[in-house]
Structure 1
């Protein structure tokens, strides 16, 4: 499914977040008072509960959706969550679900914050050579979360002057996403020594290395991916004035890289075949989100001509996306249909082929393909969202509505699903539900006042004379109360 240019709002919940953070030490969710970490202790858990971390993490995630170029791409979202959760399953003391997401940014960076949210810049994926290298970064961030490093650091900072914490707030999230800009924002309100409060200590980094490398090995990846990737970054940017974002927040002195290499070698270096999913995800980012379609066509034609690929299918896939982005839909269709003869249920191929069929108005072909796959993978987000999009394009609105409503029962906060459902209701001229569903999109961006306004508008449509819909009115009134309570809950955190 193509990443739509979805509308965004600048009406955020910054004030509510500020209220929360001025009264709360920062923390990484994962472990409660039962957790035993002899080197550091259980600081952080006594003043920042798991429930409070969830609430703060949820609020920050809504802020990021509204302010950062998050990649709302179902196949890439599914890939990065599958990869991350393969390691979360082997982690200790996991108290809630992790959420991994991608930001369209060529910077090499990854970051974690409250509630198990882990963001990965697209540049990190395209820089990694192997899936084990990418997995090593996720394992490292997971380990910062499970060890509650930032919670402990911020608890110590909270014992300082209140104004220090107040000055820190506005730049913390920005510093996570963009360390260069974020650090500059923080430095206007804090002394250099105080500014360092958001960074991890050397002990934190070593512990995250130790736990992360073990997690990497236990999850079936090559533990050498960790020292190899960080050594590559350190060497590449050794003499540059602008190191990547990751090296600003995760400094890599030679001694630390050497220690990580020794630790990884203790687990051995298993021979792992190149991951097709990793290569396809990397190629999808390059072909869809980087460079121009014409340049990418030349790039992948050259790769195929010179046989410069780990899998031929990966280069063909990149070429098909480049053709699609260049509106050469017939050429894209030919390649993708050929790829499906090799691996019929590969969702990377099915996703782009669906978009291609839609552009060529071959709706029957798209729907037949997706109906077949849906039987094998019911409620899979890639299948459900593509199926709904194809049904919407084919003007089969009731079926599209049903597919999306069923999917939202298991993933109510899916941004694309709510946006698609808004379009379905608009096409049906069901204005009450269109405004109600648009409110859900706005709520996911943290724009609660605007979401409540949309709900009130939807209520008015449902209340029109001769068109009264009592059940919808009750649902909308209940949802208004829920959103008001969510907004109040943020304020009550202080």
Structure 2
């Protein structure tokens, strides 16, 4: 799809901004940096929230998403660990995972954080991944997007459209082409913005280093991550990873981070056990889905925990048709690591994928008795229930939809469960939600119209008010979508 002319015109600015964005600021004086503009100027927090949620819907509609509830739950938990010390006050950020082998992560106004599968492949330990997420949270807490808008003469709307274009380019591997196209028209303007962005990067580094230390990670992990990216760039003939295109790294910036990290010290470090390596295994298997042995080889090269190598071997064994052997390995690992719900959930997932719905249900429900709020297991339970008891699945998914109103996968399953349990109005309402969450607002509104008519026919009195409320919200998003055209 051709990108809008105004998006291309600002694409480099947007790519630079893609890691720089919202909420209540941490005091700049704490980092010995000059004030670059009021952190409350420009776009206000409610506008940032609206823009960010609209942006995410557009991104979902056009980017290759990595649909892995287990890995997303891990990233959610890691961000939750970093959040208390980050200065971010916009609530819990929304996480979206991208099915791309490119090394990238980004933050967007309104508290949206995106992570490519390729970032897991590159980051060999949890501290390395945490350093990138802490940096992104630094951008959000310092409200860099709003402060950038106070400087540029253009409105924020073309910039947000360009940011969408830029991240889609990056997700698809066309970052260099996008930047070259943008730089052809406004080189002087872009250079000015790049210099400004570098100061923002330094602020986010300093904020992120403190967050890392307070969360139990060695702040040197951020410095090591930057240097590893530079080495990769050199090995690739000067072609930098996507993350460095949106977060320019200079020697002075690395030196500053090095000095700050040394001054902070390591503090008391946490031991993540094999959990991170297991999630990394899932990412590697996603990236190398057509060559699973390559995923195993790369995991072993990273000095992974032996338990993670056994975990990946089990996933690969199941793909090769040996489900019994895979489940036996995972059951052994569960006994060895009883505090890692990822392992028994993976076993339930393998059973579900193999069509053994009864076993998937049994395994997921056993775990949920111990951890009733573990979303990946609840999703597997609901999907297994769909094959055996659609009404029970519908009730379970209605609860999940209330707790996770921004999760398209939940509404996809809810639409199916409602249809199978003869609740046609609810089925179309859930389908409407799934459509609007993935950027297809007009189609979602059509589904609301159908749901409203069916509700009248079926006598679903309580659903009418909900449909009216959701139509108003959908219309608001549809108007906001015009800003990205």
Q: What range describes the TM-score normalised by the shorter chain of this pair?
A: 0.7 to 0.9
Mapped pair 1:334 → 2:331: no
Mapped pair 1:320 → 2:318: no
- Alpha-carbon displacement from aligned partner over 1:110-169 (angstroms, at most 9, x marks no partner): 1111012111111111111221111111111111121222322232112x6x7xx78755
TM-score, normalised to structure 2, is 0.85
RMSD: 3.2
Q: Report the CA distance between 1:67 and its aligned residue.
A: 1.1
Q: For residue 431 of structure 1, what is the aligned residue in structure 2?
A: 424
Q: For residue 149 of structure 1, what is the aligned residue in structure 2?
A: 144
Q: For residue 85 of structure 2, what is the aligned residue in structure 1?
A: 90
Among 96, 99, 116, which residue is 1:101 paired with? Answer: 96
Among 243, 256, 259, which residue is 2:256 paired with? Answer: 259
Mapped pair 1:226 → 2:222: yes
- Quote the Cα distance in structure 2 between the aligned partners of 1:142 and 1:60: 18
Mapped pair 1:214 → 2:205: no
Among 265, 287, 290, which residue is 1:268 paired with? Answer: 265
- Quote the Cα distance in structure 2 between the aligned partners of 1:338 and 1:437: 39
Kept in 2: contact 1:345–1:373 (CA 8 A): no
Q: Quickly say closer, same or farther: Cα 1:297–1:328, change in 2 above 3 A.
A: farther
5+ residue gaps in structure 1? 1-9, 19-25
Q: Report the CA distance between 1:345 and its aligned residue.
A: 5.2
- Quote the Cα distance in structure 1 between the aligned partners of 2:289 and 2:43: 44
- Quote the Cα distance in structure 2 between the aligned partners of 1:468 and 1:111: 46
Partner secondary structure for residue 85 of structure 2: coil
Kept in 2: contact 1:354–1:390 (CA 8 A): no
Kept in 1: contact 2:213–2:219 (CA 8 A): yes
Kept in 2: contact 1:168–1:186 (CA 8 A): no
Mapped pair 1:420 → 2:420: no
Q: Quickly say closer, same or farther: Cα 1:447–1:43, change in 2 above 3 A.
A: same
Mapped pair 1:311 → 2:308: no
- Quote the Cα distance in structure 2 between the aligned partners of 1:429 and 1:49: 45
Q: For residue 182 of structure 2, what is the aligned residue in structure 1?
A: 186
Q: Quickly say closer, same or farther: Cα 1:137–1:485, change in 2 above 3 A.
A: closer
Q: For residue 472 of structure 2, what is the aligned residue in structure 1?
A: 481
Q: Report the CA distance between 1:259 and its aligned residue.
A: 2.4
**Number of positions where the alignment pairs a residue of Structure 1 with one of Structure 2:** 462
Q: Quickly say closer, same or farther: Cα 1:475–1:263, change in 2 above 3 A.
A: closer
- Quote the Cα distance in structure 1 between the aligned partners of 2:296 and 2:230: 31
- Quote the Cα distance in structure 2 between the aligned partners of 1:218 and 1:479: 41
- Alpha-carbon displacement from aligned partner over 1:176-232 (angstroms, at most 9, x marks no partner): 4524344245336x4112234664533222222211111111111111101111111
Q: Quickly say closer, same or farther: Cα 1:221–1:471, change in 2 above 3 A.
A: same
Mapped pair 1:376 → 2:366: no
Among 66, 69, 90, which residue is 1:71 paired with? Answer: 66
Matches within 5 A, 1:104-123: 104-123=99-118
